Structure 1
Amino acid sequence: MTDAPLIQLDDIRRDYTQGDMVTSVLKGVSMTIAHGDFVALQGTSGSGKSTLLHILGLLDRPSSGRYLLDGANVANMDDDEASSLRGTRFGFVFQSFYLIPYASALENVILPGLYGDTSRRELTARAHELLGLVGLEDRASFRPSQLSGGQQQRVALARALINGPAVIFADEPTGQLDSATSTEIMDLLSRINQQGTTVVMVTHDEDTARHASTRILLADGQIASNL
């Protein structure tokens, strides 16, 4: 861990153009995220929180502004560079899980690792370890249709960890889960964070947000408060 921030955003703006109409979604967002932080991005629908998460995860590009990751400006990376960085430094968890339906839990976890240099044997061992971490080692051969929503999200969490990312980006990770299962998922994310992985999460739910050490409220494309 270093004293310098893991992530620094300076005056990030994101505009979408359709014909002559320009819609400004982010209007000059500046923020820092420390190594090992657990950040909740909150705000009403249309506040810009998901757009901000997508820019942080290099799934979208800002219209202007500076994005420093460990001191390097990544805002204007080309598609190949951004894809490589996503695969090595980031893990993603989404509300809809996005598991491959015909693949087993183990195969879903392994998938992101296949684009790197790690051997299949090492990936398989790591995937079994991660499925054990999320309490699903005995479900390794099950397909998503054989798993509950909470179990599918656990597989998605294990998949996000397969490459040993510095940051987990989670977009409404409990959005499709009941309250008890949501608590289980958030406890897992908290444990992962306590082991040193930075977590940045979008949520509209107050109970979910309470697991974070830093809470950033967005309103109309700007940071309204940072707690």
Structure 2
Amino acid sequence: MTEPAISMTDITRTFLQQAERDGDADAGIKVLKGITLDAAQGEFIALQGTSGSGKSTLLHIIGLLDRPSTGTYRLLGQDASTLDDDHQSDLRNLSLGFVFQSFYLIPYATALENVILPGLYSGKPRNELVSRAEHLMEQVGLSDRMHFKPSRLSGGQQQRVAMARALLNEPKIILADEPTGQLDSTTSTEIMKLFHTVHDSGTTIVLVTHDEQVAREAGRIIKLHDGKIVEDTIR
């Protein structure tokens, strides 16, 4: 039986306030309240919910950008709950790609240089990284914009650069947080087509959205409310 890409058991996340640090155990903000979730390799999952439902916090834990307060989390067969920061960083860089609502492109670097950035920590030769980055830029339809800086790109083009960057290290899982949130409907449709292309190659995708139409693009919709899973639908 294939190991799940993501396996979470009774995950909670509480953010401490000063009163709790001073000894008041009830002062923390409980954002996740016992999340149990398995995601098979190759799934396309949408995490949906209103603001404050816990969906972005959950994505950050999946992406090893945060740690749960309690519970067990296995990522690609490894117990990520017990890894130290350095080993989490290695696992994150080699296995995960990120696409955010804000594109987080370096303004003084070209589009191609932005795509290459995650590979600088991989130890691969620069010429190999450049070759793959150029190929990815062609795949996202920006072969003629490789040497443009972000200020000369539209929002949709910047998000395409961000997707190419996320794919540079050939991650097994792509995590996306409101990737169409700053885009018009036509551009959003184009970006979602790119996600489907990536998914068709066998990559697992977990996408956070509040948008019902975007959520319906996924094969599975998990709805959160008040830090809990309230609905899990396979479409």
Pick the aligned partner of 2:77 from 65, 71, 78: 71
1:19-43 deviation digits (Å, cap 9, x = unpaired): 2221100000000011010010001
Which residue pairs with 2:4 in the alignment? Answer: 5
The Cα shift of 1:192 comes to: 0.3
| Equivalent residues of 1:61, 1:76 under 8 A apart | no
Structure 1 Cα separation of the partners of residues 201 and 181 of structure 2: 24
Following superposition of structure 1 onto structure 2, how do residues 1-227 of structure 1 map, counting pairs within 5 Å? 3-20=2-19, 21-227=27-233
| Equivalent residues of 1:144, 1:152 under 8 A apart | yes
The Cα shift of 1:69 comes to: 1.5
1:217 corresponds to which letter in structure 2? K
Which runs of 4 or more aligned residues in structure 1 lie more than 2 Å from their structure 2 counterparts after TM superposition?
none
2:212 corresponds to which letter in structure 1? E
Which residue pairs with 2:22 in the alignment? Answer: none
1:154-203 deviation digits (Å, cap 9, x = unpaired): 00000000000000000000000000000000010011001111110100
The Cα shift of 1:17 comes to: 0.8
- Say which SS state the counterpart of residue 211 (structure 1) adopts: coil
TM-score, normalised via structure 1 length = 0.98
Structure 2 Cα separation of the partners of residues 186 and 88 of structure 1: 24
Structure 2 Cα separation of the partners of residues 75 and 57 of structure 1: 12
Structure 2 Cα separation of the partners of residues 87 and 3 of structure 1: 22
- Say which SS state the counterpart of residue 139 (structure 1) adopts: coil
The Cα shift of 1:76 comes to: 3.0
- Say which SS state the counterpart of residue 107 (structure 1) adopts: helix
The Cα shift of 1:133 comes to: 0.6
Task: State the percentage of identical aligned residues.
Answer: 60
Gapped regions of structure 2 (runs ≥ 5) = 20-26
CA RMSD, Structure 1 to Structure 2 (Å): 0.8
> How many residues of Structure 1 are paired with residues of Structure 2 in the alignment?
226
The Cα shift of 1:71 comes to: 2.4
The Cα shift of 1:4 comes to: 2.4
